């Protein structure tokens, strides 16, 4: 792998196609930034949404990295910037990966602390989590200055609505709804790490 020491500012200015190209070429700085900084909040959100018990987030992100890296980045090479943004693509692919990983690896081993009462939805996680987490989520939502964004965050986090239905309700793009969600997760990132 190449180690070139780019700054975060450099990465943030790259187009989706350039980022994918750098990942595939083995740019280690880009790989670390992409998987463990840029999309860390997205991965945490999906993991909290799917797993109703304590899991090692870094281990799951490592598994997702290996999933994309497999067969010379075959899955990542399927990304098409004319069809979706990298944000939307990585969110969709990672969610499906974590969902399938939970079902095939963790739930099937007989050792996981799951049972039939859980259906792996965000609402279930919300109803089972510490009141402190929910207070942090509610406080973060209440701090959003834009009333529409506050309502969007409430639909996503408290009502467990899908991106598409929220976008349709407010007459917005799915990317915009996703951006609102990401902003809130960034506010919660430090707090939620305490609950891992």
User: Out of 9-18, 78-87, 97-106, 108-117, which region has the weakest mean confidence (pLDDT)?
Assistant: 108-117
CA atoms within 13 A on the CB side of 62: 5
146: left (phi over 0), alpha (psi -120 to 50) or beta: beta
Among 99, 12, 9, 89, which residue's Cα sits nearest to residue 47? 99
Give residue-wise pLDDT tens across range 143-159: 777 888 888 888 887 77
Mean pLDDT over each residue of the chain, to the nearest integer = 76
Residues in CB range of 152: below 8 A, 6 or more apart? 166, 170, 172, 177, 180, 181
User: What are 15-55's pLDDT values in tens digits?
Assistant: 999 999 999 999 988 898 899 888 888 898 888 888 877 77
Q: In the CATH hierarchy, which top-level class contains the domain 1-118?
A: mainly alpha
Spatial CA neighbour of 69 closest among 104, 97, 108:
97
Domain ranges of the chain: 1-118, 129-196
pLDDT of residue 105: 66
Topology of 129-196 in CATH? Arc Repressor Mutant, subunit A (1.10.10)
pTM: 0.53
Token duo for residue 88 = 């939307």
């Amino acid at each position: 792998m190449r180690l070139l020491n780019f700054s975060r500012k450099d990465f943030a200015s790259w187009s989706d196609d350039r980022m994918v190209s750098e990942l595939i070429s083995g740019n280690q700085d880009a790989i670390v930034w992409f998987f463990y900084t840029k999309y860390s909040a997205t991965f945490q959100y999906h993991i909290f949404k799917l797993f109703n018990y304590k899991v090692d987030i870094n281990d799951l992100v490592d598994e997702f990295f290996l999933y994309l890296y497999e067969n010379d980045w075959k899955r990542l090479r399927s990304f098409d910037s004319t069809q979706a943004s990298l944000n939307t693509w990585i969110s969709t692919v990672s969610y499906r990966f974590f969902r399938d990983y939970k079902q095939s690896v963790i739930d099937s081993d007989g050792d996981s602390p799951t049972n039939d009462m859980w259906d792996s939805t965000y609402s279930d996680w919300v109803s089972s989590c510490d009141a402190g987490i929910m207070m942090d989520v509610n406080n973060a939502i209440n701090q959003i200055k834009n009333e529409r964004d506050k309502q969007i965050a409430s639909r996503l986090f408290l009502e467990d609505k899908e991106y598409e239905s929220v976008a349709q309700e407010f007459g917005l793009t799915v990317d915009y709804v996703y951006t609102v969600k990401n902003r809130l997760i960034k506010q919660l990132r430090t707090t939620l790490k305490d609950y891992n």
